[in-house]
Amino acid sequence: MLPSPPLAALSKAAAAAAARRAATVAARSRRRLLVLPAVASLVPGPPPALCRRVRLMPQLEGPRAPPPPHGRGFAAAAAGGDGATLDAGDSELVVVSFYRFADFPDHAELRRPLKELCEELRVSGGIILAPEGINGSICGTPEAVEKVLNFIQSDDRLKGLRMIQSPVTPEDEAIHHGHTSQSPVGAGEDAPFRWDHVRVKLKKEIVALGDPGVMPTKTVGKYVKPKDWNALISDPDTVVIDVRNMYEIRIGKFKRAVDPCTNSFREFPSWVDDQFQLAESDSQLCSENNDNTIGRQSEDVNSSKPKELPRVAMYCTGGIRCEKASSFLLSKGFKEVYHLEGGILKYLEEIPKAESLWEGECFVFDKRVSVEHGLAQGTHKLCYGCKKPVSDEDMESPEWEYGVSCPYCFATKSEEEKERARARQRQFETWGVIGGPDKGRSPKRLEANHTAEEPKQLSSSV
C-alpha cells in the first residue's frame, strides 16, 4: 500500500483547489460581457466604466426581441428545389449548419465569390469546400443567411442542402474565443466556427475519413426517420454504432450503442476492420461507457462469420459522419446499413423525452456545448484547455482551472503549456480578445501599417 501524503500537503492541495474554484466563479461572471477599451488608445488606460461592448453582427433598429425557444417551434430548414427558406421567428440572428455530398471537382472556383458574399452580408462562420461537396455552419441575419444558402444552391450540384437551423442569443454575438484547428471546436470537423469572421477553406474531404475510395455520392445507407429509429435500434439483431468520438459519447448516447473508442473519425475504418473482419474472436470493444447490454452485443459481433455481417444502425450529431460511414460499410460488404436522418439533433427535436431512447446530453460544436431533449441548453461547459465538455462534477476536481485545464487534459499538459494558457486567459479577461488590444500583433507593426495606409486614403478621397 502506498504511504499516505502528509497533512500539510493535503491542506495545500485543498487550498489550491479552492482557489481555482473561486477563480472559476469569478471568470464566469466576468465573461458574460466581453468588453474592449475605447479605440482611441492601444494602451490599457481607460477605466472599465469607459469600456464598451463590441457588436460584430448587423443590428436591426428598434427594441431587441427575445430569442425564440429551442425545439419544435424552431424547426430545422430542409432546403430543396431552388432556394432555402428560414424560419427566423423573432430572432435577429440564426445559425444554420449544412452539408451536401456532391461530385465537385471545381470546388476551388467557389471559394472567392462565396467568401466575398459572406463578408458583404456580414455572415460569419466556417465553410469547407472539397471535391466531395460542401460542409459549413454560418451565422447572420435570416435574410443574409438565406441569400448565402441560395447562392450556394445556384449550382445544381449543391441543391438540396441538408440543414439544421438554430437561434442565437445576444451573448453569442460576442467574440467566440479560444478555437483552434486542432481542437474539437476548431474549423474542420462538422465545420465549427468563430463568430467574428468567415472562413472558407479548401480541403480534400468535407469530413475527414482518410479513405479516398469512399464516395457517398455513389452509395449510402438507408435513411431512418427519427419516428422509426426506436424500433430499429430496439431489435436485438441490430448492432447500433455511435460514430462520434469518445469525448462526445462520454456525455450521452443511445441505449445499446457501441462505442468504438475513437479519438477522431479517421480511426473509424481501422476499428471496423478489426472488429468485424481481422480479429473475429480476439478483438474486444473498449469497455468504457459501454453497459452489459453492449458487452453482450459485442460478443455477437465477434462471433459472427466474415460473410455474415450484421445489420448496422449508425448515428452522429447532425448526420454527415454517419452518412459517410454508411458508404464505407457498404464498400466493405455490409448489406443492411441504416443511419439516423438528421442525426441526434433532429431526434432530440422531434421525439418527446417520455418516448426517447437517448441517455444524457448531446455535444454540439458551438457555445451551447451540449443540448438536451427539445434542443434545450445542456448543463455541460467547455474546457478551453482541451476543448472537451466538462460537467459540474468535473469542475469540482482540483485538476480543473478555468481556461487552463480539466481532469481530462491536466496530466497531458506541461507546466509551460498551463502558464501560456493562464496568460491567454488573463488577456481575454482584461481585453475581451486573445492577445490584448493588438490581438497578439506588434504595436509597432500596426502603427507602421496605419501610417502606410493614410496616404492611400488621402489620395482616394482627393
pLDDT for the residue 415:
94
Cell of 215: 464516395
Mean pLDDT of 213-240: 95
Q: Which of 135, 167, 202 is the last residue of a domain?
A: 202
The domain that contains 349 carries what CATH number?
3.40.250.10
Task: Say whether pLDDT at 397 is over 60.
Answer: yes
Indicate if 157 and 232 belong to the same structural domain: no
Better-predicted residue by pLDDT, 238 or 8: 238
The domain that contains 109 carries what CATH number?
3.30.70.100
**Given pLDDT bands bounded at 50, 70 and 90, which one contains residue 89?**
low
pLDDT for the residue 124:
86
Cell of 51: 469600456
Task: Say whether pLDDT at 239 is over 50.
Answer: yes
Instruction: Dump pLDDT digits (tens) for 107-165.
Output: 999 999 999 999 999 898 889 999 999 999 888 889 999 999 999 999 999 999 998 88
Q: Which of 316, 322, 362, 406 is catalytic?
A: 316
Number of structural domains (the chain) is 2
Instruction: Dump pLDDT digits (tens) for 318-352.
Output: 999 999 999 999 999 999 999 999 999 999 999 99
pLDDT for the residue 167:
62
Domain extent at residue 113: 72-202
Q: How far is it, in rounded angstroms, from Cα 404 to Cα 417?
A: 9
pLDDT for the residue 19:
61
Cell of 122: 456580414
Indicate if 198 and 233 belong to the same structural domain: no
Indicate if 194 and 234 belong to the same structural domain: no
Indicate if 259 and 293 belong to the same structural domain: yes
What residues contact residue 304 under an 8 Å CB cut-off, 6+ apart? 276, 280, 310
11 found inside a domain: no
**What is the per-residue burial (b if ≥16 Cβ within 10 Å, else e) of 275-311?**
bbeeeeeebebeeebbeeebeebbeebbeeeeeebbe
Indicate if 355 and 247 belong to the same structural domain: yes
**Given pLDDT bands bounded at 50, 70 and 90, which one contains residue 236?**
very high
Task: Say whether pLDDT at 312 is over 90.
Answer: yes
Quick check: is 316 catalytic? yes
Its sign, for the CA torsion 212, 217, 221, 223, is positive
135 found inside a domain: yes
Indicate if 171 and 265 belong to the same structural domain: no
Of 64-68, 215-219, 306-310, the one with minimum mean pLDDT is: 64-68
81 found inside a domain: yes
Mean pLDDT of 267-274: 93
Q: Which of 343, 362, 381 is the last residue of a domain?
A: 362
Indicate if 352 and 228 belong to the same structural domain: yes
Instruction: Dump pLDDT digits (tens) for 4-47.
Output: 444 444 445 555 555 655 655 555 444 443 333 333 333 334 33
Indicate if 190 and 261 belong to the same structural domain: no
